Structure 1
Amino acid sequence: MESEQHSQNLERVPSGISGLDAILQGGFLKGGVYIVQGVPGTGKTVLANHICFNHVACGGRAAYLTLLAESHARMLQHLRPLAFFDDAVIPDRLYYASAYSTLEEQGLKGLLDLIRHEIRGQTASLLVLDGFVVAGLTAPSEREFKKFVYEVQVYANVMNCTVLLLTSNEPGPVRAEHTIVDGVIELDDRLFDHRTERGVQIRKHRGSGFLRGVHPFRITATGIVVYPRIEVAFASPSRRDQPPRDRVSTGVASLDALIGGGLIDATTSVVMGPTGIGKTTFGLQFLARSRQEEPGLLFGFYETPERLKAKAEALGLDLTGLEASGAVEIVWQPQGENVLDELGHRLLDAVRHRGVRRLFMDGLGGLIESAVYPDRISRFLSVLSNELRALGATTVYSMETRDIIGPTVQVPISGISSLVEGMMVLRYVEAQGRTHRVLSITKIRDSAFDPALQAFSITSGGLEVIGPFQGHEAVLSGSAHTLQAPPPEGR
């Protein structure tokens, strides 16, 4: 208990990168020494500079020492296009200096004296030593190098200066310096088939908890953007879940009548079916019931906003007007090399920002294709759905099934029924030389519903349930047969 209280009382130095601070649970410890390691090209220098500029923007002072052959002018030239870069803070509040010649001429002792001089002379509350691996190669022995790291740590603690040691050492066995420092942060850039994904992992964070595992990040025009893994960041929903009480109309009155008046508020449902069956049409009707006091969000992957608005207009739905009034927002991300956790955070941020109550995600396939580890999808969706419920959003996912017509419904996510409260399956059925559309409600948790197979059509007004699909057998096989009338009695 006493150690937990001590950890809470330790003063933090935020990195200013929200995702990274979330992983570190508040930032670095003031006066702590951290190793930031990764092979060349993983983003160590961009990360350290982003942290420095954020630090001085919040009133701190920083010194950046390099042991690299790259000149400061060249490094700053590469950094200048990034949004966090600010020429005005150099050199008064952010000071750059080369320590390479000092290390060459005076060894580790000279480098230690220079670090002390820069912290004291610049009154720095943050210091970066870029090229820490060079200092290790210069050390006469492992013992001397360990002593150097220890003395840096002691002085940093005395001066309340947080120190980042950047090294290009590859991941491997624990080295002596790892046991001394307060934290070890590892960056990587992994290859998955033909695509790559950057990741950050906290190996050690003394005196503090942290979010474990590898978390993806990008280097963007704004700098480093970190996306804490959804399964860890929202392992416990951000708000206490409230038992649902109200009904939310699907936008299809004839369907609402079959499920007790609509979907249960703040629940998650999935609409499955083959291509062209009417999943997006259903989602547009669901969103068309949005109002400013009940905002809607369309989060899609495949059709552009312009095409969606044109489709809605053809159905007599004013999606353009709903968007203009602020009742509906369309968030579209083209199918490319998306990052799964980036999509999750983008979705949750959009829901929180406008207090979204109606959410239609058009295409769970977009999430599946973004995952470099497909076996994450079930856990990812479970935690994501829990957070959406806690935020009060009534969510409808659409998911495409593999076969257009057939006796089985094959879906790319195992156990999908356990992740949602509602499930509706749309099918094509062949009967008497033509195809029919059939809807089956397979699950509405904690609610009565009509289990009969229902015929439906897509009209100029959208999806409309016609009534029970009668007079046929073997309907779910995909090829229905007309029921034979029983023979008259006595024959």
Structure 2
Amino acid sequence: MTDTTNQTAPIERVPSGIEGFDQLLHGGLIKGETYLLMGPPGAGKTIFGNQMCFHHIATGGRAIYLTLLAEMHSRMLAHMQTFDFFSEDPLADKLTYISGYATLEQQGLDALTKLIRKEVRKQRATLLVIDGVLTIEQNTASLRERKEFLHALSVTTETSGCTTLLLTQYDRGVYDQPEHTMVDGLFHLTAQLHDWRLLREIQIHKFRGSGFLEGRHSYIIDRHGIEIYPRAESLMKTNPIPLPTSLTSIHPAGRMAFDVARLDEMIEGGVPTGSMTAVLGAPGTGKTLLGLHFLGAGVRRQEQSLYFGFYESPVQLKRRLAELQLNIDDKEVSRYLEILTQSPTEDIIDVLGEQIMATVRKKKVKRLFIDGLSGFQNAIASQERMDLFLSSLFTTLRNLDVTTIWTIELADLLNPTIIMPATISKMAALVENIVLLRHVELYSQLYRLISIMKMRQSKYDPSIREFRISDSGLDVDATFTSAEAILSGIAHSGESTGQESAMGDPLTSQKEPQ
């Protein structure tokens, strides 16, 4: 016979219906316990409480929304109708709205306690939301009364299996009031300006009986209601993805070609499968075109490919892909190529990361081209957070065996020494491969050069090559001869080098009269 005396029943969760919030709590609230959600006016507490109620009744539960505010329920519900979570179905038998304001004001805290106990039993409620807990503090003479109220509330909800969420505008220190210490969980919403943007964040200060994702996490309020985006690095830490066989094997990794003949020759047939490649270059050097070559090569090999960018419109991408003999309106092309364009003014970097990862998982993407690091830089307030986010994103993509190309724009248009800013240099250190594209000016004409700066654990040709952009795409010179002539011309602009290449003689054809 099995001894069950020391076995405990599994924890029963109550999902909030806010996916990101449930992720923070590893599955949702715990049934029968009492929680406090605090934050300043306008942070979204009332939206949060109503959104949770509507989800709860939609999944078979029964809820009470009790207000201690002067606001009329009809006005509050009118506001809630603008959100997708609001249901037009009759609410009377599932969701009950009650005002406890008059009871508290006229009869005191004991009468409010009796009202709550009566309604929870009468409605057989499994979720109770109390909005306006600050009103209790304002109408109570002593801390002892408030502690007794919270204790009685906990007993009532625990014995009935009713999960309780308290909403308060209190926004001072944490853990300096009985509401903070006596509840089973404390959640804090903040909304503050950073430069011109409003950044909304939620933090779980405590959550008894379960682990949770620590730190601050971003959220937004839109037509869906509250949407919470856990930090990408915290999700990666709690849900690690094992490395694919291709990256743990002692055998060399496969290759992902660009289908740019001489470039592929320089890198032994392509970049290693599952690796990250940074393409560095000033505006106009051909970074986007090189990334589109990479995606086009994937489509031709029937590999699921994804473009994610900020500055190219779908119309522009369609035209540029057409030059590479790829028609995105063609069913066969659209079957293997997904295009996601995003406004460069997006405020939350975790939203961008989630969009990428959701598509990667859904489409089983093998080739990913992220066009522009600056779009992510614009969406984040801290460089330290940027480093953590990129490290997490890159690790996740590698572990999913996704081969990624990422463009990074350099500010100097005509600097032959290419000294990278410290922030970009640190980001470039996170990737396995680095390709540098640059302009060189010679005799009032611009030339483009390409070189492989880094390819970890892989052979490559380190020579600098000249390349040109034509109607059919990017064409790399067969040798380094023309590039050497161009670079020698920088050092000795008054002399002819006499060097020639398959792409022509840039010095002799452009040299000014002596």
Q: What's the TM-score bracket when you normalise by the shorter of the two chains? A: over 0.9
- Counterpart for residue 183 of structure 2: 181
Name the CA distance, whole Å, in 2 between partners of 1:82 and 1:181: 29
User: Normalising by structure 2, what TM-score?
Assistant: 0.89
Q: Secondary structure at the match of 2:192?
A: strand
2:317 aligned to which of 308, 312, 327: 308
Q: Taking structure 1 as reference, are residues 323 and 33 closer, same or farther at Cα in structure 2, changes over 3 Å only?
A: farther
Q: Deviations over 1:310-334 (max 9, x none)?
A: 1222343333436863211111111
Q: Taking structure 1 as reference, are residues 374 and 355 closer, same or farther at Cα in structure 2, changes over 3 Å only?
A: same
Q: Secondary structure at the match of 2:297?
A: coil
Shift of residue 422 of structure 1? 0.9
Q: Does 1:253 align with 2:264?
A: no
Q: Deviations over 1:240-299 (max 9, x none)?
A: 112432111123222111111111111111101000110111111111123495211110
Shift of residue 471 of structure 1? 6.5
- Counterpart for residue 78 of structure 2: 77
Letter in 2 for 1:190: Q
Name the CA distance, whole Å, in 1 between partners of 2:394 and 2:8: 32
Asked if structure 2 preserves the Cα contact closer than 8 Å seen for 1:430 and 1:480, the reply is no
Q: Deviations over 1:433-481 (max 9, x none)?
A: 4221111101111110001111111122211211343367697799454
Shift of residue 408 of structure 1? 2.3
Q: Does 1:87 align with 2:96?
A: no
- Counterpart for residue 122 of structure 2: 121
- Counterpart for residue 103 of structure 2: 102
Q: Taking structure 1 as reference, are residues 37 and 90 closer, same or farther at Cα in structure 2, changes over 3 Å only?
A: same
Q: Secondary structure at the match of 1:276?
A: coil
CA RMSD of aligned residues (A): 2.3
Name the CA distance, whole Å, in 1 between partners of 2:357 and 2:288: 21
Name the CA distance, whole Å, in 2 between partners of 1:222 and 1:237: 26
- Counterpart for residue 457 of structure 2: 446
Deviates more, 1:331-340 or 1:350-359: 331-340
Asked if structure 1 preserves the Cα contact closer than 8 Å seen for 2:282 and 2:411, the reply is yes
Asked if structure 2 preserves the Cα contact closer than 8 Å seen for 1:430 and 1:478, the reply is no
Q: Secondary structure at the match of 2:440?
A: strand
Shift of residue 432 of structure 1? 4.4
Q: Taking structure 1 as reference, are residues 75 and 387 closer, same or farther at Cα in structure 2, changes over 3 Å only?
A: same
- Counterpart for residue 427 of structure 2: 416
Name the CA distance, whole Å, in 2 between partners of 1:429 and 1:212: 49
Shift of residue 108 of structure 1? 1.0
Name the CA distance, whole Å, in 2 between partners of 1:473 and 1:220: 56
Name the CA distance, whole Å, in 2 between partners of 1:171 and 1:409: 47
Name the CA distance, whole Å, in 1 between partners of 2:267 and 2:164: 60
- Counterpart for residue 475 of structure 2: 464
Shift of residue 146 of structure 1? 1.2
Name the CA distance, whole Å, in 2 between partners of 1:26 and 1:273: 44
Name the CA distance, whole Å, in 1 between partners of 2:45 and 2:51: 10
Q: Taking structure 1 as reference, are residues 236 and 465 closer, same or farther at Cα in structure 2, changes over 3 Å only?
A: farther
- Counterpart for residue 134 of structure 1: 135
Q: Does 1:354 align with 2:363?
A: yes
Shift of residue 10 of structure 1? 1.6
Deviates more, 1:418-427 or 1:462-471: 462-471
1:327 aligned to which of 320, 325, 336: 336
Name the CA distance, whole Å, in 1 between partners of 2:328 and 2:102: 65
Name the CA distance, whole Å, in 2 between partners of 1:138 and 1:478: 84
Asked if structure 2 preserves the Cα contact closer than 8 Å seen for 1:473 and 1:480, the reply is no
Q: Deviations over 1:347-376 (max 9, x none)?
A: 111111111111101111100111122332
Q: Secondary structure at the match of 1:361?
A: strand
Name the CA distance, whole Å, in 2 between partners of 1:71 and 1:477: 79
Q: Deviations over 1:118-140 (max 9, x none)?
A: 21111111000000110121112
- Counterpart for residue 489 of structure 1: none
Asked if structure 1 preserves the Cα contact closer than 8 Å seen for 2:465 and 2:482, the reply is no
Name the CA distance, whole Å, in 1 between partners of 2:25 and 2:331: 40
Letter in 2 for 1:302: Y
Q: Secondary structure at the match of 2:306?
A: strand
Deviates more, 1:324-333 or 1:142-151: 324-333
Q: Does 1:200 align with 2:202?
A: yes
How many residues align? The count is 482
Letter in 1 for 2:271: L
Q: Taking structure 1 as reference, are residues 310 and 230 closer, same or farther at Cα in structure 2, changes over 3 Å only?
A: same
Deviates more, 1:357-366 or 1:427-436: 427-436
User: Normalising by structure 1, what TM-score?
Assistant: 0.93
Asked if structure 2 preserves the Cα contact closer than 8 Å seen for 1:378 and 1:414, the reply is no
Q: Does 1:297 align with 2:306?
A: yes
- Counterpart for residue 218 of structure 1: 220
Letter in 1 for 2:293: Q
Q: Secondary structure at the match of 1:9?
A: coil
Asked if structure 2 preserves the Cα contact closer than 8 Å seen for 1:408 and 1:477, the reply is no
Asked if structure 1 preserves the Cα contact closer than 8 Å seen for 2:291 and 2:369, the reply is yes
Structure 1, unmatched stretches of 5+, are 487-491
Q: Does 1:366 align with 2:367?
A: no
Name the CA distance, whole Å, in 1 between partners of 2:272 and 2:330: 27
Letter in 2 for 1:223: G
Letter in 2 for 1:373: S
Q: Deviations over 1:56-107 (max 9, x none)?
A: 1111110000011110000000000211101314111111111111111221
- Counterpart for residue 268 of structure 1: 276
Letter in 2 for 1:161: C
- Counterpart for residue 348 of structure 2: 339
Name the CA distance, whole Å, in 1 between partners of 2:284 and 2:72: 58
Q: Deviations over 1:404-435 (max 9, x none)?
A: 01122334534123211111010111234422
Q: Secondary structure at the match of 1:370?
A: coil
Name the CA distance, whole Å, in 1 between partners of 2:283 and 2:497: 35
Name the CA distance, whole Å, in 1 between partners of 2:126 and 2:476: 67
Letter in 2 for 1:404: L
Shift of residue 235 of structure 1? 2.4
- Counterpart for residue 441 of structure 2: 430
Name the CA distance, whole Å, in 1 between partners of 2:333 and 2:154: 56
Percent identity over paired residues: 42
1:288 aligned to which of 296, 304, 309: 296
Q: Secondary structure at the match of 1:381?
A: helix
Q: Secondary structure at the match of 1:430?
A: strand
Shift of residue 144 of structure 1? 1.1
Name the CA distance, whole Å, in 1 between partners of 2:156 and 2:260: 69
- Counterpart for residue 28 of structure 1: 29
- Counterpart for residue 147 of structure 1: 148
Q: Taking structure 1 as reference, are residues 471 and 260 closer, same or farther at Cα in structure 2, changes over 3 Å only?
A: closer
- Counterpart for residue 250 of structure 2: none
Name the CA distance, whole Å, in 1 between partners of 2:288 and 2:313: 12
Q: Taking structure 1 as reference, are residues 155 and 295 closer, same or farther at Cα in structure 2, changes over 3 Å only?
A: same
Q: Taking structure 1 as reference, are residues 6 and 203 closer, same or farther at Cα in structure 2, changes over 3 Å only?
A: farther
